Amino acid sequence: MAMTIKNQAEIDKMRAAGRLVGEIHVRLAAIIAPGVTTAELDRLAADVLAEHGATSSFLGYRGYPATICTSVNDEIVHGIPGPRRLREGDIVSIDVGAILDGYHGDSAWTYPVGAVSEEAARLLRDTEAALDLAIAAARIGNRLGAVGAAVERFAIPRGFGVIREYGGHGIGRQMHEDPHVPNHGRPERGPILRPGLTLAIEPMLTTGGEATRELADGWTVVTADHSLAAHFEHTVAVGPEGGIILTERPIGVVH
């Protein structure tokens, strides 16, 4: 799907969809604990979407069977919610996409379940830092390659694997629009980032290698070496000082 340029009214609609995605994350984070099933997380996300008259970006997409994606430990992305119970020490990557008023918001976050290992905590901290750097690089006038270069240059010297077989994407009326947004590359490559371009930026790092495998369910992507994986994603509009986050977590949401 082609690269689309949005006007301010469209970006405002994407911010509304994104804010709902952020609210869903806040509400999921509040119930993540040992013993909770990933299906329970999916149900809560579906309920909040319905409360707002929104729908899931993922449910039914190429036959995807759930509202959100829940990927545990060595699962990188596209884990399908089900009866699995989270355990103390797990990490769970939750990917949420919402369609509101015709526009998508898409954001993922990896959460610790109870106390996690120092290795897991460092992976989470540094994958979030890689996302922050990638967003800062999503600046009008930069080339797209600056985004992936920022991830790679931060992650590789710190000993992490960078997932190269999956990446971010343009987003708008469609969940996946051009361009593909790799988490690696060179800053002088790719199209120039222009005002009105909206991107889902989503680094995926591992504590081991970079090879992936897809499970027999046809969706779940795991690390080939079963090392831990983390995934942090925001939807942004490129701006003069870097990406403007459209999927902020609202503060002060009380339910």
Residue of 1, 30, 61, 85 that binds ligand MF3 (CB under 6 A): 61
Q: What x-and-dash track marks residues 92-131 binding Co ion by CB under 5 A?
A: --------------x-------------------------
Amino acid 139 reads R
Residue 150 or 199 with smaller CB distance to ligand MF3: 199
Structure tokens at 133: 């750097």
Which residues neighbour 17 within 8 Å (Cβ) at sequence distance 6 or greater? 54, 98, 99, 100, 101, 103, 104, 105, 246
- Contact string 104-123 vs ligand MF3 (x = CB under 6 A): --x-----------------
CB atoms within 10 A of CB 122: 16
Site residues (CB under 6 A) for ligand MF3, limited to 141-170: 169
The residues, ordered by sequence, that sit 6+ positions from 151 with a Cβ below 8 Å of its Cβ are 130, 133, 134, 162, 183, 184, 203
Note the Cα 148 to chain centre separation in Å.
Answer: 15
β-strands 234-237, 161-162 pairing: unpaired
Instruction: Please list every residue from 194 through 233 that binds ligand MF3, using CB under 6 A.
Output: 200
- The residue from 74, 75, 90, 95 that contacts ligand MF3 (CB under 6 A) is 95
Nearer to Co ion, 11 or 199 (CB): 199
**Using CB under 6 A, which of 13, 15, 19, 78 touches ligand MF3?**
78
Tell me if residue 46 falls in helix, strand or coil. helix
- Binding footprint of Co ion on the chain (CB under 5 A): 106, 200
